[in-house]
């Protein structure tokens, strides 16, 4: 069974540009999570989808971040416009119901904003 | 602000010895506790979960939980060079729908 996949693995953009990150969860996993790790800090929760609905988006830093999960399959996280402080590793994770069980993490997207 | 605290390390342990990793958390009502292992440049991988006070053993790994002291630990027996990684402590928020709070992680280095 394929794990959680993320694309791209790395992205280098300039301040003010737009970047879209993609996450494909494990097939059949209704729960999808986005996390971010800024250098030197802990991994922080961004938001949680249950199927296509946003269950909790309390961790989204500001309105420059937009997450979608149309159709309840893959998810995208768009940053527009990107700022220097957005640099970090963005992880996606997915889990089956009940959603308190193991979250399987993807390999992450390393974003560098110059 | 709910927090999970870990010593960043690096913690150096001779091969074959016991590695002891510690974590404290601020939310007294937390119920679920996890240890993740993360190799450099890789994704976090769950290695242990613990929900009740006491010890939970899985192979060379033992998780210990003391809710009164708000303390979680991970012991790795017979440490191997392949255990060298960053170990992340994570706590599931009380009443939260599944939000997990992570510590910054402890870097463990097993000396051959």
**pLDDT digits 0-9 by tens, A5-59:** 999 999 999 999 999 999 999 998 999 999 999 988 999 999 999 999 998 898 9
Which residues on B lie below 8 Å from A107 (Cβ)?
42-43
- Both tokens of A91, joined, read 């992880």
Beta-bridge mates of residue B86: B38, B107
CA distance A32 to A55: 10
Q: What is the mean pLDDT of each run of 10 residues along chain B (112 residues)?
A: 88 97 92 93 91 96 96 97 96 73 95 93
Q: For position B95, what pLDDT does the model report?
A: 65
Of B46, B88, B101, the CB nearest to A102: B46
Give the three-class secondary structure for B86. strand
Give the pLDDT score at A2. 78
Q: What is the mean pLDDT of chain A?
A: 92
Using the Cβ of B94 and the Cβ atoms of chain A, whether some distance falls under 8 Å is answered with no
Residue A26: list chain B partners with CB under 8 A: none
Q: How many CB pairs under 8 A join A and B?
A: 51
Rg for chain A, CA atoms, rounded: 13
Instruction: Tell me which chain B residue has its CA closest to the CA of residue A108.
Output: B43
**Rounded Cα–Cα distance for residues A75 and A88 (Å):** 19
Q: Residue A32 has what pLDDT?
A: 94
Nearest CB to B99; choose among A45, A102, A108: A45
Distance in angstroms (rounded) separating the CA atoms of residues A85 and A104: 26
Would you state the pLDDT for residue A112?
97
Would the CB atoms of B103 and A42 count as touching at under 8 Å?
yes
């Amino acid at each position: 069974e394929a794990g959680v996949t993320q694309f791209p693995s790395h992205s280098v953009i300039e301040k003010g540009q737009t970047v879209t990150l993609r996450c494909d969860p494990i097939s059949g996993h209704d729960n999808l999570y986005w996390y971010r790790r800024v250098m030197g800090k802990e991994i922080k929760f961004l938001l949680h989808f249950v199927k296509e609905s946003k269950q909790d988006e309390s961790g989204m830093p500001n309105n420059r971040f937009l997450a979608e999960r149309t159709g309840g399959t893959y998810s995208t996280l768009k940053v527009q416009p990107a700022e220097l402080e957005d640099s970090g590793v963005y992880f996606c994770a997915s889990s089956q119901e009940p959603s308190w069980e193991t979250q399987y993490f993807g390999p992450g997207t390393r974003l560098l904003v110059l | 602000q709910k927090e999970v605290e870990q010593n960043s390390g690096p913690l150096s342990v001779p091969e074959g010895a016991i590695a002891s990793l510690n974590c404290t958390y601020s939310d007294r009502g937390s119920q679920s506790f996890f240890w993740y292992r993360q190799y450099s440049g890789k994704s976090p991988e769950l290695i242990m979960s613990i929900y009740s006070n006491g010890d939970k053993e899985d192979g060379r790994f033992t998780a210990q939980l003391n809710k009164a002291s708000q303390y979680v630990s991970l012991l790795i027996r017979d440490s191997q060079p392949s255990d060298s990684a960053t170990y992340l402590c994570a706590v599931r928020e009380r009443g939260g729908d599944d939000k997990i709070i992570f510590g910054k992680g402890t870097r463990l280095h097993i000396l051959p």
